């Protein structure tokens, strides 16, 4: 199995004592999905019923992605699903995003992933309604935490057309690392003791002030700012 796939890494870490969104996934056939995206076919038999059942069990709103990517920058038409009426069109949007990035070198997807929606401690939005919140990326290898960084950098947010005039100062404050470092370092060490090799581990703070592990990826395929440990 592709090690960058959520279907690989999530089952290995989901029982760790680390807050994570509730997660379930459904295997899909990419060729069947392509026929729908290209307008050459309809959703496979039972597909609509199965995805609606899984989404209903997770509860709305929910966070939608494949095992490879969510297309979060398209938030309002991709990963954020407010109700059942939006589900199929957002699946289409997420798959379309994945196909575009496969063309650019991303690994092919194998599953749809339905995740508990965690309201984040966001103070403004950018791109297509994407909440910009306190997020961190930690890099670890074989049980050792190498470095950590704020996830949202100013240049990236600026490209998304932030919907707040004083966003730069707000972002700077959100990016000040501090009291979370010990606990996220501990979490990252635990993850790295389970996932062999070099990994990035992403966290986001909820509105209630709790840090959640939201994603993992192979470290050498993850965006990494310049630092002494890179």
pLDDT of residue 227: 86
Q: Which CATH class is domain 122-221?
A: alpha beta
pLDDT in tens, 203-229: 999 999 999 999 999 999 999 988 876
Q: Tell me how crowded residue 139 is: count the other CB atoms within 10 A of its CB.
A: 22
| pTM of the shown model | 0.96
pLDDT of residue 184: 98
Q: Look at residue 230 and tell me whether its pLDDT is greater than 70.
A: no
191 pLDDT band, cuts 50/70/90, is very high
Q: To 10 degrees, what angle do helices 6-13 and 181-194 make?
A: 110
Nearest to 191 by CA among 222, 212, 210: 212
* Residues whose CB falls within 8 Å of the CB of residue 13, separated by 6 or more in sequence, listed in order: 20, 191, 194, 195, 213, 216
Q: Look at residue 160 and tell me whether its pLDDT is greater than 60.
A: yes
As a whole number, the mean pLDDT across the chain is 96
Q: Look at residue 108 and tell me whether its pLDDT is greater than 60.
A: yes
pLDDT in tens, 164-174: 999 999 999 99
pLDDT in tens, 64-93: 999 999 999 999 999 999 999 999 999 999
């Amino acid at each position: 199995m592709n090690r960058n796939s959520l279907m690989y890494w999530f089952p290995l870490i989901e029982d760790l004592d680390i807050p994570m969104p509730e997660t379930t996934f459904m295997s899909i056939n990419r060729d069947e999905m392509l026929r729908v995206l290209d307008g050459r076919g309809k959703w496979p038999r039972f597909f609509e019923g199965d995805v609606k059942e899984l989404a209903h069990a997770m509860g709305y709103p929910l966070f939608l992605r494949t095992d490879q990517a969510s297309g979060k920058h398209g938030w309002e038409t991709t990963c954020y699903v407010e109700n059942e009426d939006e589900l199929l069109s957002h699946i289409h949007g997420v798959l379309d995003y994945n196909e575009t990035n496969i063309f650019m070198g991303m690994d092919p997807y194998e599953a749809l992933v339905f995740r508990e929606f965690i309201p984040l401690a966001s103070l403004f939005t950018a791109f297509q309604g994407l909440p910009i919140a306190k997020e961190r990326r930690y890099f670890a290898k074989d049980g050792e935490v190498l470095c950590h960084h704020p996830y949202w950098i100013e240049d990236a947010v600026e490209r998304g057309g932030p919907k707040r005039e004083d966003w730069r100062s707000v972002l700077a404050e959100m990016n000040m690392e501090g009291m979370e470092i010990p606990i996220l370092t501990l979490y990252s060490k635990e993850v790295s003791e389970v996932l062999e090799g070099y990994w990035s581990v992403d966290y986001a703070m909820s509105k209630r002030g709790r840090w959640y592990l939201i994603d993992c990826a192979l470290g050498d395929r993850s965006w990494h700012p310049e630092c002494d440990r890179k």
